[in-house]
Structures are given as structure tokens and as C-alpha cells.
């Protein structure tokens, strides 16, 4: 896990050293263990390092012949790539094999990689810069087309902070954020900044894009018949291999543990593969009635012999740190799970440098309730995902958001491939946008804010090949999702009680906001970004009613947006607690 940035300029233009340093400085939190630059002709690469593998010899940029590489993430099968391809590597870095594969295979080099990565290669022989991102979009990468060429970076805030792009908002993306809590597609919320799409490889020369190609995260085709025993064996082999690879590290690692099936499966497999007790961290809340998973997680940890620690997330701590938590989300995702994730990352980093988590289990194995709704025909109550926005019928915004579902609709059409069932299409839709642009942004930014690396063993090509094309009945059965995973746990980790009803993970933001609504409402209503889109008196009324479920959810979105806009559009650095930050002028 690191930060990367760079420039590909037109003609004989030379990258400015001060600009390159500004990009590097803006990404320092992603790589506190070192930094490196490569400048040749009209191309520059920058890297900030979080040392995980080959601590002594893995500094970047890496070089091989006329090519140089900087990378963010981990290529887990680096040892196998070295052996199978007889690569002569000068370091033990996991990012060096991709460099040699690029020299041999050109733009197809990423097809062989198993891991999470955002890579940039400069080939002086062809005068090209090649960018590549992993198929699930676990690691971020952004580009900006400039008058003098193309810039790229691991975070939009680096491109803005370096003065390359002005922080102007796209109204359609803002509508997506307010209604859905995340934004979709290649275009970000900032005009002029694009995401390199998950699985995309881009060739750039002389500051212009020459070619784009895409590696799919999910296999094509419809369900493939399999018995229960065959499906369990297939999942067991792929999941064991994935967790084993995700534990490759030269620094201590642990995991985030909830009371759910996904993290229980990760814990069970880690406990099987490790001689020492697994380090596990769980978040809890200090408010009565909150969905608290501490007791359940503690039971699982005891059954697995894990070394377990609970991180209490208190209301006072939330108000104290919320401005800096939201500031970490430069590509905004108003997911309230950023709050416990940030606090968990802060504590975990004191003990470990790498954290495994359960993201992706629901998407690959069919866990969400919205999938079961999508499986039913409309006359039996079936409905498409995300047809209702957070501000529908609340009469708070100056104008009803329009076009906010256009990106999701485009993705729905793209993932509805021949042979896929309704369930498979709903899963693929989440893998296309919800996963990379909400859950994985949350994990990346919250951990990188503390110099820690997050790893997601469910989001692995071998796991996707093993389970995505299984028949619907092996994913959803008797009204419950993730049936295959539940059966695997029943056989391998019965303490998880996998067939108990699923308890959704919630954060008590509504209760927190409701308790301070009288104070928060006027502060949020007075923010320039909020005044532009909402009527102040309606915002004040919304925060007073935030104890209600719908009102609390909408109030959280507005509070997030107010804090985010203050930092990433107005440019005000977070100082003081939430109330002081919003009140300062």
C-alpha cells in the first residue's frame, strides 16, 4: 500500500520539480516509510512507500532495462510469477515481477496478476506511460487531462492540492452522492478528474491516451451446474488459497472482526493457517440500543483462539474527529461505516501494519436483501436496486435531484450479459460501482489515513471464478443469502452460528445527530455548499427530526456533505471538533 503520482507531458515539456514534490507531499500519508522519483524527458513518476514486503530492498521506482515502475497495493502471487516465468528479479518486491512481465507482454502484463494494485510503468523505448488497476478496483487511481498533458495520482486531492485541477463540482455526481451516498462510473465528483476504471489498462504517450483495455472482475456466462459438495469444495480451495496469499507480509498483520459471516469466515481460515493467535479488532458503540457486535465477535474470537480487542467509538470522540474522518474521503462516499473503520484503523495500526477484512463476501456470494428483491418478478414485490433516494419526499433540497440514477441505469445495462440470472446481474451491478466507489474507498482512505494496509480476501480472482457462476440456489435459499458460505461455516466454524438471521451492521448516526440536532442544524444550513442546494429552514427542521430513521439518514448525508465541501471545495483544513469547524469563518 503506497501512493503513486505522475505526469506525461506533450512534446519536449519537462516536468516541474516543484510540482512533482507537491504531488508527493499530498500523498505522504499513504507512504510514510519513504519516497522516490523518476524523471525522464517529458515523463515523471512519484512514489510514497508503505513498506510491507522486502522492507530493505523494495524501494520504488523499480527499474528494468528502459522501463520504470511505481505501484500501490500488493501483487500476492509475486513468488509464483517469478518461478513460473523464470524472472530474474533484483529485489524481493512484489511489484518487480509485473515490471518484467510488462517488458515481455506489453499491455497484457496485468492479466497474470493476482492482487490489489494500481501500477504506473514508463517505457522509455516506446515513450509510453501505462497505467493499470486491479479488476475489483481495490486500489484507487485517478487521471486528469491538462492543457499540457495528463497527470495521475492515487487520490484526487493530490491533483487538486498540487494545483493541477480546480475543485469544481459536477452537479450530477453531487446528486448521486446525496441520494445514494456514492458516485458512479469513470467521472468523479470533480470536473476534469476521472477514475481509472477497475481492471482498466491505459496506454498514454505524449500526454494523450492511445489505448484502453479492460480485465473483467467476474466471469461471463450464466450459472454452471454443481452439487452442494462440489460447490463447497471449490469454495474451500479458492478461499484457502486467497487467505494464504493475503497473509504474505514481512510485517505484522491482523483483521477486522464483526459478528457477521464474512469476517467469521476470514477469522476461521486465518486461525487454521496461523500458529500464533490471530489479532482481531472489533468496534463497539457507547449508546443504548445500538446494533453492537462486541459480544458476538468476542464469542467468535474465543472459539478461534484469537487475540481480540474492542475499540469503543463514543459520541464525544466522533464529534471530535469527524472533520478529519470526512477529510480523508476526498472521493466522497457518505457511508457511515467510515466512522468505526477510521477508529479501528487508528487502533489497529498501533499493533499491526496490515489488516484483512470481509468486504466482498456479500457481493460474490449473494448476501444482501436487495438481491432477493431483485430475484422476484415485479408482481411479487421485486424491484431494481437503488430506486429510492435519501431525499425523496423530504422537501429539503431546493430542487428535486434529477438524473441521479443515470449512472446506475447505465451500469445495469452493461452487466446484464447473456445467460446471467437476475441475481447474478444484481451482484455484478454492485461489483461494478457500489463496491469500488463506496466500500473499497472507505477501506482504503480510512486505513491509509493511519499508514495501514487493508486486504480483502473475498475479492480475489480465484474466489470469483469458484462462486460467481454457481446456481442461484447455492447462494440464496429459504429466504437467506450467502447460503454456501453459511454451510461452509457450519462445517468448519460452527461457533459462528451461520444460519442465524443476518443482522445488518449499523452505526447510530441518527441518534448522535438527533441528540445535537438543535446545534447542528443551523451550522449545517449556513455552509456555502449546503445553502447552494438546500433551503436553510428545511435543513434546520430536518436535523431537529433526525431521531427518525429516514430523517437521520438524510441529515447524515447533509452533515457529511457540509464537512466534505468545506475541506475539499472550500479548502479549509480540519481544525477543532465538528461544531468549531463548521462555525469557523
Active site residues: 2
Residues 89, 97 contacting (CB under 8 angstroms)? yes
Q: Is 327 helix (H, G, I), strand (E, B) or coil?
A: helix
pLDDT for 472: 97
**Distances in whole angstroms, Cα of residue 427 to Cα of each of 307, 385, 416, 424, 475:** 34, 10, 11, 5, 11
Residue 25 counted as an annotated binding residue: no
CATH class of 228-496: alpha beta
Q: Which helix (H) or strand (E) holds 115?
A: strand 115-123
392: closest CA among 382, 383, 381, 401? 401
Q: For the whole model, what pTM was predicted?
A: 0.97
Q: Tell me the three cell numbers of residue 247.
A: 497473509
Buried/exposed 124-136: b ≥16 CB within 10 Å, e otherwise: eeebbbbbbbbbb
Q: What is the pLDDT of residue 585?
A: 79
DSSP codes of every residue in 446-506:
HHHTTT-EEE-TTS-HHHHHHHTTS-GGGT-BTTBS-HHHHHHHHHH-GGG-TTSPP----
- Annotate 167-205 with b (16+ C-beta within 10 A) or e (fewer): bebbebbbbbbbbbbbbbbebbbbebbbbbbbbbbbbbb
The CATH architecture annotation of domain 2-214 reads: 4-Layer Sandwich (3.60)
358 marked as binding residue: yes
What is the pLDDT at residue 380?
65
For the chain, the domains span 2-214, 228-496, 509-583
What number of helices (H) and strands (E) belong to the chain? Answer: 23, 17
Q: Cα separation of 197 and 213, whole Å?
A: 10
Contact, 61 vs 121, CB < 8 A?
A: no
User: C-alpha cell of 53?
Assistant: 514486503
Helix or strand run (H / E) with residue 91: none
Q: What is the pLDDT of residue 1?
A: 65
357 carries a ligand binding annotation: yes
Q: Collapse the DSSP code of 110 into the 3-class scheme (helix H, G, I; strand E, B; otherwise coil) and give the result.
A: helix
- Spell out the per-residue pLDDT of the chain, length 585, in tens: 699 999 999 999 999 999 999 999 999 999 999 999 999 999 999 999 999 999 999 999 999 999 999 999 999 999 999 999 999 999 999 999 999 999 999 999 999 999 999 999 999 999 999 999 999 999 999 999 999 999 999 999 999 999 999 999 999 999 999 999 999 999 999 999 999 999 999 999 999 999 999 999 999 999 999 999 999 999 999 999 999 999 999 999 999 999 899 999 999 999 999 999 999 999 999 877 666 788 999 999 999 999 999 999 999 999 999 999 999 999 999 999 999 999 999 999 999 999 999 999 999 999 999 999 889 887 766 778 888 999 999 999 999 999 999 999 999 999 999 999 999 999 999 999 999 999 999 999 999 999 999 999 999 999 999 999 999 999 999 889 999 999 999 999 999 999 887 665 578 999 999 999 999 999 999 999 999 999 999 999 999 999 899 999 999 999 999 999 999 999 999 999 999 999 997
DSSP 190: B
* Distance, CA of 432 to CA of 184 (rounded, Å): 9
Amino acid at each position: 500500500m503506497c501512493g503513486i503520482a505522475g505526469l506525461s507531458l506533450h512534446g519536449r515539456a519537462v516536468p516541474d520539480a516543484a510540482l512533482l514534490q507537491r504531488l508527493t507531499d499530498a500523498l505522504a500519508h499513504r507512504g510514510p516509510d519513504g519516497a522516490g522519483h523518476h524523471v525522464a524527458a517529458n515523463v515523471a513518476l512519484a512514489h510514497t512507500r508503505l513498506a510491507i514486503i522486502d522492507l530493505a530492498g523494495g524501494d520504488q521506482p523499480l527499474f528494468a532495462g528502459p522501463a520504470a515502475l511505481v505501484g500501490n497495493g500488493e501483487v500476492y502471487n509475486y513468488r509464483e510469477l517469478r518461478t513460473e516465468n523464470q524472472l530474474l528479479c533484483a529485489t524481493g518486491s512484489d511489484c518487480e515481477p509485473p515490471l518484467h512481465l510488462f517488458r515481455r507482454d506489453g499491455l497484457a502484463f496485468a492479466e497474470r496478476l493476482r492482487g490489489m494494485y494500481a501500477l504506473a510503468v514508463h517505457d522509455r523505448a516506446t515513450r509510453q506511460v501505462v497505467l493499470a488497476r486491479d479488476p475489483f478496483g481495490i486500489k484507487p487511481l485517478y487521471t486528469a487531462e491538462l492543457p499540457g498533458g495528463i497527470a495521475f495520482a492515487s487520490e484526487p486531492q493530490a491533483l487538486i492540492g498540487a494545483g493541477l485541477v480546480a475543485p469544481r463540482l459536477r452537479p450530477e455526481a453531487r446528486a448521486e452522492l446525496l441520494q445514494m451516498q456514492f458516485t458512479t462510473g469513470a467521472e468523479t465528483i470533480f470536473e476534469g478528474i476521472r477514475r481509472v476504471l477497475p481492471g482498466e489498462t491505459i496506454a498514454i504517450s505524449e500526454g494523450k491516451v492511445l489505448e484502453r483495455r479492460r480485465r473483467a472482475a467476474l466471469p461471463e456466462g450464466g450459472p454452471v451446474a454443481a452439487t452442494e459438495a462440489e460447490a463447497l469444495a471449490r469454495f474451500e480451495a479458492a478461499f484457502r488459497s486467497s487467505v494464504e496469499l493475503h497473509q504474505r507480509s514481512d510485517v505484522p498483520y491482523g483483521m477486522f472482526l464483526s459478528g457477521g459471516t464474512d469476517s467469521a469466515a476470514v477469522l476461521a481460515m486465518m486461525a487454521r493457517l496461523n500458529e500464533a493467535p490471530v489479532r482481531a479488532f472489533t468496534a463497539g458503540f457507547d449508546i443504548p440500543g445500538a446494533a453492537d457486535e462486541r459480544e458476538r465477535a468476542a464469542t467468535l474470537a474465543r472459539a478461534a483462539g484469537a487475540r481480540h480487542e474492542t475499540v469503543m467509538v463514543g459520541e464525544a470522540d466522533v464529534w471530535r474527529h469527524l472533520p478529519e474522518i470526512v477529510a480523508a474521503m476526498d472521493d466522497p462516499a457518505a457511508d457511515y461505516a467510515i466512522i468505526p473503520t477510521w477508529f479501528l484503523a487508528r487502533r489497529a495500526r498501533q499493533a499491526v501494519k496490515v489488516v484483512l477484512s470481509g468486504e466482498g463476501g456479500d457481493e460474490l456470494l449473494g448476501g444482501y436483501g436487495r438481491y432477493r428483491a431483485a430475484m422476484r418478478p415485479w408482481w411479487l414485490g421485486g424491484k431494481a436496486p437503488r430506486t429510492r433516494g435519501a431525499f425523496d419526499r423530504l422537501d429539503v433540497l431546493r430542487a428535486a435531484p434529477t438524473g441521479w440514477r443515470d449512472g446506475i441505469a447505465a451500469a445495469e445495462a452493461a452487466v446484464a450479459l447473456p445467460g446471467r440470472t437476475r441475481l447474478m446481474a444484481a451482484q455484478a451491478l454492485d461489483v461494478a460501482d457500489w463496491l469500488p466507489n463506496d466500500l473499497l474507498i472507505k477501506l482504503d482512505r480510512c486505513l491509509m489515513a493511519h499508514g495501514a494496509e487493508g486486504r480483502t480476501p473475498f475479492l480475489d480472482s480465484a474466489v470469483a471464478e469458484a462462486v460467481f457462476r454457481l446456481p442461484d440456489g447455492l447462494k440464496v435459499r429459504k429466504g437467506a443469502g450467502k447460503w454456501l458460505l453459511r454451510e461452509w461455516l457450519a462445517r468448519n466454524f460452527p461457533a459462528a452460528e451461520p444460519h442465524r438471521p443476518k443482522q445488518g451492521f449499523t452505526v447510530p448516526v441518527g441518534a448522535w445527530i438527533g441528540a445535537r440536532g438543535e446545534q447542528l442544524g443551523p451550522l449545517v444550513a449556513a455552509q456555502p455548499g449546503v445553502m447552494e442546494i438546500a433551503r436553510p429552514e428545511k435543513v434546520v427542521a430536518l436535523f431537529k427530526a433526525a431521531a427518525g430513521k429516514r430523517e437521520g439518514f438524510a441529515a447524515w448525508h447533509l452533515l457529511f456533505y457540509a464537512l466534505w465541501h468545506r475541506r475539499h471545495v472550500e479548502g479549509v483544513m480540519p481544525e477543532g471538533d465538528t461544531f468549531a469547524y463548521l462555525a469557523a469563518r
